[in-house]
């Protein structure tokens, strides 16, 4: 529940679709706890229209900033001045107006992912980690996972060139770490592909490759994704995107409104 | 109090400044009463930047529409396809996406003004009406007042050319009605100038010209504008913009979401 005034600052989450987005009550609570007169809102912007939208949104002087979700994370990066996290991920999920005009961007998916898996008692260090999906979120999660010291990382995407590019970028950033563009066995499996979103009932990989007794994290924000359901049935520790979304709220709030 | 979801549609009020805008709780109540998942929000857009803002806002697919306030009413008219009310006023305070791209506009200030003065027990028919301010709201109020059958209308603006243009337009639309570009005695005085907004302590005209025992309506939305305070002291029936804003809520809601 949010009380709007003429002085309320706006924070939009831009996506296509945007109906499935969650977290509005949690953002409202976080803003209220910090005493911010601000509201978190859905903004439905279609793929390919982010640049045109941003040009107009820049004129909305009470817009504190934007959270970008599918399919806008790579376009957000291309349209704004990135910080270190966004530069390494090659994608961005946060945008704010830059002082001199235009936009600055950051990428909080990686930090949110690491905070969420730690909170869930999962382990990245020393393990074989399989990442599915080399899009905006997949890149950020893979880079953040690589930083935690896994034994090796494999990345997979139905778009092979995209997976190859991510594997090469991780290898360059983390020279000692074995990295492959591959789909195989793992001890920790992370789904960053959109498979399983909304009413998609598919698994993002063959059930045989779900790591029995290992950790499974599905960044899709729904407690009963096909992957999470199968992983729990197979005895995995499993968690889903809600914890990653929640872990990002303080990160997003500080980035937009200051610490 | 408003509950936001991923399916919430947005209605913005664009103005500069926008902090002083009121009515957010009343719009929330009206939307809730109609079962609409929609939120009414301030959007701070500077003078001269409406066109650039609209070009981007058109890409926000869950934007139901916009209410335009000072200083955007004439630019809103120039940038959109007007209906009859907007065409006659030469200004617009409502914008909605047009089916074929671009925007449609309307002007609800006139209808809101007439509904508000009727509710306040004031009379336009048969009286000498003085309008102060020939901007967007002034034009709409003057045209709507002219339609109610006053004895005569006088319009005044510190920008003489603007007042002359409005007087000529009223004369053309209402051929039998005596109209002057003048400032003088009246039985009903309507302030549509921005004088008295925010912490402006000026009267919009000499106190000697406030019609003792007559009706005074100040469209500034504050109960204690200098004009309203002086008018009450001088024994006038007086009301202010809050009633005009409230009277517009059902008009705006129907125009944006259907009857």
Query: Do the Cβ atoms of B42 and A8 come within 8 Å?
Result: yes
Q: Which of B72, B73, B156, B237 is catalytic?
A: B73
Query: Do the Cβ atoms of B8 and A41 come within 8 Å?
Result: yes
Q: Which residue of A has its CA nearest to B4?
A: A24
Return the pLDDT at A136: 83
- Residues in chain B within 8 Å Cβ distance of A19: 5-7
Return the pLDDT at B178: 98
Distances (CA, A) of B19 to B12, B50, B69, B164: 13, 17, 12, 32
User: Nearest CA of chain B to the CA of A35: how many Å?
Assistant: 16
- Residues in chain A within 8 Å Cβ distance of B19: 6-7
For the residues A135-140, what does the mean pLDDT come to?
Answer: 89
- Angle, to 10 degrees, between the axis of helix A160-173 and the axis of helix A136-147? 30
pLDDT level of residue A2 (50, 70, 90 thresholds):
confident
Query: Do the Cβ atoms of B28 and A4 come within 8 Å?
Result: yes
Q: Token pair 């957010």 is at which residue?
A: B24
Query: Do the Cβ atoms of B8 and A42 come within 8 Å?
Result: yes
Q: What is the ipTM of this complex?
A: 0.85
For the residues A139-158, what does the mean pLDDT come to?
Answer: 96
For the residues A124-142, what does the mean pLDDT come to?
Answer: 94
User: In tens digits, what is the pLDDT along chain B, a chain of 259 residues?
Assistant: 679 999 999 999 999 999 999 999 999 999 999 999 999 999 999 999 999 999 999 999 999 999 999 899 989 999 999 998 999 899 899 999 999 999 999 999 999 999 999 999 999 999 999 999 998 889 999 999 999 999 999 999 999 999 999 999 999 999 999 999 999 999 999 999 999 888 899 999 999 999 999 999 999 988 999 999 999 999 999 999 999 999 999 999 999 999 9
User: Nearest CA of chain B to the CA of A65: how many Å?
Assistant: 13
Return the pLDDT at B136: 83
User: Nearest CA of chain A to the CA of B203: how many Å?
Assistant: 25
Return the pLDDT at A153: 98
Query: Do the Cβ atoms of B61 and A45 come within 8 Å?
Result: yes
- Residues in chain A within 8 Å Cβ distance of B7: 19, 42
Query: Do the Cβ atoms of B43 and A62 come within 8 Å?
Result: yes
What are the two backbone dihedrals, phi and then psi, of residue B107, each rounded to the nearest 5 degrees?
-135, 110
Its pTM stands at: 0.87
Those residues with Cβ within 8 angstroms of residue B63's Cβ, 6 or more apart along the chain or in another chain? B9, B10, B11, B12, B57, B97
Return the pLDDT at B137: 86
Q: Which of A73, A127, A156, A240 is catalytic?
A: A73
Active site (annotated) includes residue B22: no
Q: Which residue of A has its CA nearest to B6?
A: A19
For the residues A237-253, what does the mean pLDDT come to?
Answer: 96
Q: Token pair 């049935």 is at which residue?
A: A233
Q: Which of A20, A28, A56, A71 to mutate to test the interface with B (most CBs of B within 10 A)?
A: A56
Query: Do the Cβ atoms of B24 and A2 come within 8 Å?
Result: no
Those residues with Cβ within 8 angstroms of residue A93's Cβ, 6 or more apart along the chain or in another chain? A67, A68, A69, A73, A76, A106, A107, A108, A109, A136, A137, A140
Return the pLDDT at B206: 94
Q: Is the pLDDT of residue A132 over 80?
A: yes
Give per-residue pLDDT as tens, A164-178.
999 999 999 999 999
- CB-side neighbour CA atoms (13 Å) of A174: 20
Q: Which residue of A has its CA nearest to B13?
A: A6
Return the pLDDT at A135: 87
User: Nearest CA of chain A to the CA of B54: how many Å?
Assistant: 6
Give per-residue pLDDT as tens, A25-55.
999 999 999 999 999 999 999 999 999 999 9
Q: In terms of DSSP H, where are the helices of B174-240? A: 226-233
Return the pLDDT at A1: 62
Q: Among residues B87, B90, B19, B102, which one has the least CA distance to residue B54?
A: B102
Return the pLDDT at B1: 62
């Amino acid at each position: 529940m949010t009380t709007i005034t003429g002085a309320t600052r706006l924070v939009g989450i831009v996506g296509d679709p945007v109906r499935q987005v969650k977290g509005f009550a949690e953002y409202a609570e976080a803003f209220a706890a910090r005493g911010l007169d601000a509201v978190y809102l859905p903004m439905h912007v279609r793929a390919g229209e982010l640049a045109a939208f941003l040009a107009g949104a820049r004129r909305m002087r009470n817009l504190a900033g934007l959270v970008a979700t599918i399919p806008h994370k790579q376009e957000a990066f291309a349209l704004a001045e990135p910080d270190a996290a966004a530069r390494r991920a090659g994608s961005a999920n946060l945008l704010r107006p830059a002082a001199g005009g235009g936009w600055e961007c950051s990428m909080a998916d990686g930090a949110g992912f690491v905070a969420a898996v730690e909170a869930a008692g999962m382990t990245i260090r020393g393990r074989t980690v399989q990442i599915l999906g080399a899009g905006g979120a997949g890149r950020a999660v893979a880079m953040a996972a690589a930083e935690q010291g896994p034994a090796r990382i494999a990345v997979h995407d139905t778009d092979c060139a995209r997976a190859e590019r991510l594997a090469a970028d991780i290898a360059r950033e983390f020279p000692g770490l074995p990295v492959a563009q591959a789909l195989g066995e793992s001890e920790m499996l992370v789904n960053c592909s959109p498979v399983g979103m909304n009413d998609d009932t598919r698994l993002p990989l063959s059930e045989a490759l779900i790591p029995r007794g290992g950790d499974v994290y599905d960044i899709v924000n729904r407690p009963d994704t096909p992957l999470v359901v199968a992983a729990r049935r197979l005895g995995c520790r499993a968690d889903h995107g809600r914890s990653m979304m929640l872990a990002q709220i303080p990160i997003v709030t500080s980035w937009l409104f200051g610490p």
